[in-house]
């Protein structure tokens, strides 16, 4: 017997998956009251007339379970918003990355949905980078040698979800895109953390405010 997704609410075609609870709460503060809220997959799903929003979401397993549920309930296009560690020397805290490719240590590269990527490239009203990110399950196991190898491969940043999002989306027949904000830098011997920096906070607010206006 196959495991099946239980029946759920009818969802709008567009869904945002917001990784961090701080970003989720800030985004919801810009929005009107949702027409429905439910808890699924250790996350909070808020349903609006033209958009569903879910989070928090940490790592590959939770992301994949969320995708399966939201696809079964009517979701067709997905934007993941998360944080990442920059490993390219061109990056600074608070920079925004729109990845076109994602890889992992165990998989061949997977790619963004071209339609969504082109649409966001045209319409994002602020500066951003495009490139390849690598998704990992445990960011605390890295050493400088591994970081340097990633840099030689042209990888811009590290996150925990984008590769799973890009890889699973074609199988589900959905479109997906990832928007990442650089929270810390791994380009030097010293780990530079920017989680509390004014630049990081202001860029998160800017992105979340813009996203809140896209579908309202």
Q: What's the average model confidence in pLDDT over 201-206?
A: 98
CA distance 213 to 164: 27
**pTM of the entire structure?**
0.96
Separation between Cα atoms, residue 212 and residue 167, nearest integer Å: 27
Name which of 30-34, 57-61, 74-78, 142-146 the model is least confident about: 142-146
Mean pLDDT, rounded, for 49-56 = 98
Q: What is the DSSP string of 155-209?
A: EEEEESSHHHHHHHHHHHT-EEEEEEEEEEE-SSSS-EE-TT-HHHHHHHHHHHH
pLDDT at residue 23 tops 90: yes
CATH H superfamily, domain 14-214? Nucleoside phosphorylase domain (3.40.50.1580)
Chain mean position to CA 184: 16
Provide the pLDDT for residue 1.
Answer: 42
pLDDT at 108: 87
Band (pLDDT 50/70/90 cuts) for residue 145 is: confident
């Amino acid at each position: 017997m196959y495991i099946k997704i239980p029946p759920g609410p009818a969802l709008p075609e567009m869904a945002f998956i917001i990784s961090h609870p701080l970003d989720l709460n800030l985004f919801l503060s810009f929005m009107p009251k949702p027409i429905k809220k439910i808890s699924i997959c250790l996350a909070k799903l808020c349903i609006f007339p033209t958009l569903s929003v879910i989070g928090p979401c940490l790592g590959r397993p939770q992301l994949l379970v969320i995708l399966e549920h939201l696809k079964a309930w009517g979701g067709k296009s997905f934007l993941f918003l998360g944080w990442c560690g920059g490993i390219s020397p061109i990056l600074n805290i608070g920079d925004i990355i729109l990845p076109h490719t994602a890889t992992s240590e165990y998989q061949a590269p997977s790619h963004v949905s071209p339609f969504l990527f082109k649409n966001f490239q045209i319409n994002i009203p602020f500066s951003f980078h495009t490139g390849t990110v690598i998704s990992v399950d445990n960011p605390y196991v890295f050493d400088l040698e591994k970081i340097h190898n990633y840099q030689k491969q042209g990888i811009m940043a590290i996150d925990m979800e984008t590769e799973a999002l890009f890889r699973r989306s074609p199988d589900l027949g959905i479109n997906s895109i990832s928007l990442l904000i650089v929270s810390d830098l791994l380009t030097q011997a010293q780990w530079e953390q920017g989680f509390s920096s004014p630049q990081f906070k202001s860029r998160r607010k800017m992105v979340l405010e813009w996203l809140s206006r896209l579908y309202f």
